[in-house]
Every structure is written in C-alpha cells, then in structure tokens.
C-alpha cells in the first residue's frame, strides 16, 4: 500500500503543535532523518511501527494520520 498523503499530514500535525522535526523525533523515537524523508515524500511507504509511533506522538489515530486530508486539529493540545 502506497501512502500518498502521510508526509503532508505529518507536516500539518507537527506544525499545528509548533514542533520541529527534532521535537517530533524526541516525542516519537522516529529518527529525524526518517521524518524528513516521510515529509518530503521520499519515504512513501514507512513501516507500520513508524506510522504508529508518529500517530501516538502527534496524538491522532493511525487512520487519521493516513487519511487523504487531515485537519490540523492538534492545535492547542
């Protein structure tokens, strides 16, 4: 399964929290280099565990992270 929108969703949700990629790395334990590649669309099919870690850190479900369009509802959380 190719995850087309995950990079855009990670960016939106991360920025809604005013987090840098480094902040997300610390919260998720996913290397910043992987986060960068996901956001740039260079790693379009990240592993299940990576997606789970990112979703947990961003306080959304895996399904929400994988949605075609994700609202940045994490603002203020």
Per residue in 20-73, pLDDT (tens digit) is 999 999 999 999 999 999 999 998 789 999 999 999 999 999 999 988 754 545
Instruction: Domain ranges for the chain, please list them.
Output: 6-66
* Three-class HEC string of 21-43: HHHHHHHHCCCHHHHHHHHHCCC
Name the class of domain 6-66: mainly alpha
Residue pair 70/9 in contact (Cβ under 8 Å)? The answer is: yes
Give pTM, 2 decimals: 0.83
Token pair in block for residue 45 = 């099919």
Q: Confidence band (pLDDT; 50, 70, 90) for 76?
A: very low
């Amino acid at each position: 399964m190719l995850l087309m929108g995950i990079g855009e969703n990670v960016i939106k949700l991360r920025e809604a929290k005013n987090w840098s990629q480094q902040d997300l790395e610390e919260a998720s334990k996913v290397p910043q280099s992987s986060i960068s590649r996901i956001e740039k669309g260079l790693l379009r099919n990240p592993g299940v565990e990576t997606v789970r870690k990112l979703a947990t850190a961003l306080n959304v479900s895996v399904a929400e992270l994988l949605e075609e369009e994700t609202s940045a509802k994490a603002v203020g959380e």
